[in-house]
Amino acid sequence: MVLATSPSHLIDQLPKPRGRLTADAPLGPQTWFRTGGPAEVLFRPADTEDLAAFLQALPEEVPVTVLGVGSNLLVRDGGVKGVVIRLQRGFTGIRVDGQDVIAGAGALDLNVALTARDHSLAGLEFLSGIPGTIGGALRMNAGAYNGELSHVLMAAEAVDRAGAVHNVGPAEMGFSYRHSDAPMDWIFTSATLRGMPGDQLAIARRIAEIDAARTDSQPRSRTGGSTFMNPPGHKAWELIDQAGCRGLRLGGAQVSEKHCNFLINLGEASAADIEALGEEVRRRVYEKSGVLLQWEIRRIGEPASSGHGVEG
């Protein structure tokens, strides 16, 4: 379905897919921070074939951005130019084949862990502690609670910017800490993960432990998850705390009092507030420790200015 709009809009120049195209689609409500500008065009493909055909026919000059569940993402206030692709229905299926769990890139990490539990497959419990989708986990080699995607991945499927479909193994992904060397134009569509036969009760207990640990240590407010990667030999939250940034505020954004590697939207924060606060944290940590923190949260779109001062 294509929603009608002005004849001069980008949406009128795009191929007509089986999936859904929406002009000027608000992205803020689709992210965990609940702030940010719109997508010039939002595309929800029907399936992998629809995605591949659309990309093949899409003019080369049109930029493409992929949006997952919006958990580890900050959309800048000016919005995102070109086409933003979100994999929803058609990409959320999960099935089990022996010890393998085959999941669409739009499947929530938590649901993959629960499916593995239901089939008495151990080794995927850590996914329950990652607030995102399998596609995002592939892109950044997501990990938590002594597990990471590279430990369990058997195969991945992706579509490139030209519409070609790629099927690769873990060696071709070039995994490192919170990073994959996979080409940036690849849009992951599915993954095959390997579990191990295990005791269902023990698996369920481990998932419950992870949930309890997250509840105890992490804010459940409007946040994007861990803001900065842990530098070698350090924990980001400790460096932030030592630099006196716990509770630091800028406009409607704040460094969480509960876990200071989390930034939170107190209610009315702009994306500019959140990004500027993160940069201020990086500055103070570097000044205090000589360590330059690297963003773990992905920031996309057009930058916007902020007129607020830092409080803390």
First-to-last alpha carbon distance for the chain, in angstroms, is: 49
What phi-psi label fits residue 237: left (phi over 0), alpha (psi between -120 and 50 degrees) or beta?
A: alpha
Q: Is 184 helix (H, G, I), strand (E, B) or coil?
A: coil
* Cα–Cα distance, 79 to 178 (Å, whole number): 26
Dihedral angle sign, alpha carbons of residues 239, 241, 247, 250: negative
The token duo for 127 is: 């996914």
Residue found under tokens 């481990």? 206
Task: List, by residue number, the catalytic residues.
Answer: 178, 226, 296
Give the alpha-carbon dihedral of 126, 132, 138, 139, to 10 degrees. Answer: -130
